């Protein structure tokens, strides 16, 4: 992965969360040049020391003027905090890369997956809020983009199987605690609406009047915006499963043109960020910690030759959040 031309002053809101931790690990792994690092979290974490680029940096709380002098701030601590503070980062002259849902569907906000619509931002862009899409949407759009460009897409149906890390540190800890105490008859469920151990839960977020939960609406609204086709029909059904990390998706995509399986696989294989598995299939356990979006089990529907089924798996903390955010920063600074 490319790094930045010059050392940057970087802020990270939500530095003690699972996405924040992944963001720091990626900065270390790819040895990004860092002139200053300003980590932010809640009062509970104030003063905690985080290690990056050979130094310790103390966690701060958000306060007026806290972004002064920064080049970029990555926000990963929820909608309300982003709504209030991301515009302040931009006012202070920084790019705000926002991992929350706060700005994604605003008309003037770029909703970016660099491999898919990275042309919307470049090194001449002015400081602004840039939205990182929903984690399930990111991996879906990376898999769809080569098909969209080469054959056109009529419609997409997706069923997700989402890991507990998608609900942050509390989700992760809830599954681990229930696993340690697996013989307990009544598990306490605070993060998920029902016991997650030995279970799967067809609800991620709250339900709307039509019966969709908010995770489903995010996928259905964001995918057409990212692919640049507001007429694209996307239908989503999202399910939480007791995997620790990495989201999986069963995808049905109807193309506008005929194509052979061999050519379709080649088209996807050549697309950056996709790792095709033809003889095997990816699973969340194997994919966790890796950068690409993995695709396996590509096969043709038996009723409609233009409809294709596939299995798409990716690390929600990496490509679904922190890595995608860093790739956005690369468009601006490298
Ligand atoms: N997890 C994923 O796979 C994923 C993927 C895409 C997008 N997202 C989005 O990313 C965001 C963070 O997710 P996460 O999974 O990392 O959650 P998390 O593990 O629960 O972490 C939340 C972070 O927000 C911080 N925070 C809480 N209140 C704060 C405040 N008043 N001021 C500043 N920081 C505060 C927490 O600090 P303390 O430790 O001090 O409480 C912690 O660092 C959410 O918007 C989520 O929807 C998550």
pTM over the 0.75 mark? yes
Average the pLDDT over 30-42 and give the result. Answer: 96
Atom of ligand 1 nearest to the CA of 59: 40
Residue 19 reports pLDDT greater than 80: yes
Cα(297) to centroid(ligand 1), Å: 33
- Residue 140, pLDDT score: 99
Give the pLDDT of residue 184.
84
pLDDT of residue 1: 78
| Mutation test residue for ligand 1: of 45, 62, 77, 190, the one with most atoms within 8 Å of CB | 77
Helices (H) and strands (E) in the chain, counts: 9, 14
CA 50, 54, 59: angle at the middle one, nearest 5? 20
CA distances from 8 to 58, 75, 276, 311, 331 (A): 18, 16, 35, 38, 14
Closest CA to 75 of 321, 333, 330, 327: 321
Kindly state the helix (H) or strand (E) to which residue 96 belongs, with its residue range. Answer: strand 95-98
Average of per-residue pLDDT across 35-51: 98
Q: For residue 19, which atom of ligand 1 is closest to its CA?
A: 16
Residue 188, pLDDT score: 84
Q: Are 246 and 315 in contact (CB under 8 A)?
A: yes
Write the CB contacts of 156 (distance below 8 Å, at least 6 apart in sequence).
Answer: 140, 144, 223, 232, 233, 234, 235, 251, 252, 253, 254
Catalytic residue among 66, 187, 213, 247: 247
Give residue 77 CA to ligand 1 midpoint distance, Å: 3
Helix (H, G, I), strand (E, B) or coil at 65: coil
User: Which residues have C-beta atoms less than 6 Å from ligand 1?
Assistant: 13-20, 40-42, 44-45, 62, 76-78, 81, 99-100, 135, 165-166, 168-170, 316-317, 320-321
pLDDT for residue 191: 97
Judge contact between 195 and 273, C-beta under 8 A: no
The proportion of the chain whose per-residue pLDDT surpasses 70, expressed as a percent, equals 100
Cα(45) to centroid(ligand 1), Å: 12
Q: Please tell me whether residue 322 adopts helix, strand or coil conformation.
A: helix
Quick one: which of 28, 18, 27, 30 has its CA closest to 135?
Answer: 18
Distance of CA 89 to the CA centre of its chain: 21
Q: For residue 165, which atom of ligand 1 is closest to its CA?
A: 1
pLDDT in tens, 177-206: 999 999 987 878 999 999 999 999 999 999
Q: Provide, rounded to the nearest whole percent, the portion of the chain with pLDDT above 90.
A: 97
Distance 158 CA to ligand 1 centre (A): 26
42, 67, 214: residue to mutate for ligand 1 pocket, most atoms within 8 A of CB = 42
SS3 301: coil
* pLDDT of 329: 97
For 271, other C-beta atoms within 10 Å of its C-beta total 19
Q: Is the pLDDT of residue 2 over 90?
A: no
pLDDT at 186: 80
Q: How far is the CA of 325 from the centre of ligand 1 (A)?
A: 14
Q: What is the mean pLDDT of residues 304-312?
A: 98
Pocket test for ligand 1, best of 19, 22, 175, 190 (most atoms within 8 A of CB): 19
Active site residue 247: yes
Q: Say which of 66, 135, 187, 213 is annotated catalytic.
A: 135
Per-residue pLDDT reduced to its tens digit, 217-268? 999 999 999 999 999 999 999 999 999 999 999 999 999 999 999 999 999 9
State phi, psi for 327 to the nearest 5 degrees.
-65, -35
Q: Where in the chain do CATH 3.40.50.720 domains reside?
A: 8-132+321-333
pLDDT of 3: 85
Outline which parts of the chain fall under CATH 3.30.360.10.
136-315
The hierarchical CATH code for the domain 136-315 is 3.30.360.10
Residue nearest to atom 44 of ligand 1 (CA): 78
Q: What is the CATH number of domain 8-132+321-333?
A: 3.40.50.720
């Amino acid at each position: 992965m490319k790094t930045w031309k010059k050392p940057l002053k970087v802020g990270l809101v939500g530095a003690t969360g699972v996405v924040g931790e992944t963001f720091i690990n990626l900065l270390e792994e790819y040895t990004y040049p860092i002139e200053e690092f300003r980590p932010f979290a809640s009062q509970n974490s104030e003063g905690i020391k985080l290690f990056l680029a050979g130094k310790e940096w103390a966690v701060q709380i958000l306060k007026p003027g806290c972004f002064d002098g920064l080049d970029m701030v990555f926000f990963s601590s929820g909608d309300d905090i982003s709504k209030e503070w991301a515009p302040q980062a931009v006012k202070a002259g920084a790019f705000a890369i926002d991992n929350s849902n706060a700005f994604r569907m605003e008309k003037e906000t770029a909703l970016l997956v660099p491999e898919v619509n990275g042309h919307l931002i470049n090194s001449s862009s002015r400081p602004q809020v840039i939205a990182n899409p929903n984690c399930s949407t990111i991996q879906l759009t990376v898999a769809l983009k080569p098909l969209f460009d080469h054959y056109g897409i009529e419609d997409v149906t997706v069923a997700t199987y989402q890991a507990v890390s998608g609900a942050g540190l509390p989700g992760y800890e809830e599954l681990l605690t229930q696993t340690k105490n697996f013989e307990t008859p009544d598990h306490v469920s605070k993060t998920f609406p029902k016991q997650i151990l030995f279970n799967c839960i067809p609800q991620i977020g709250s339900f709307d009047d039509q019966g969709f939960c908010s995770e489903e609406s995010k996928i259905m609204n964001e995918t057409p915006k990212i692919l640049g086709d507001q007429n694209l029909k996307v239908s989503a059904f999202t399910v939480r499963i007791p995997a620790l990390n990495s989201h999986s998706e069963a995808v049905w995509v109807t193309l506008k043109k005929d194509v052979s399986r061999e050519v379709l696989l080649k088209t996807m294989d050549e697309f950056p960020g996709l790792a095709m598995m033809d003889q095997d299939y990816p699973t969340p356990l194997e994919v966790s910690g890796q950068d690409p979006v993995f695709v396996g089990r590509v096969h043709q529907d038996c009723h409609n030759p233009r409809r294709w089924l596939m299995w798409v798996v990716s690390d929600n903390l990496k490509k679904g959040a922190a890595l995608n955010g860093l790739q956005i920063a690369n468009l601006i600074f490298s």
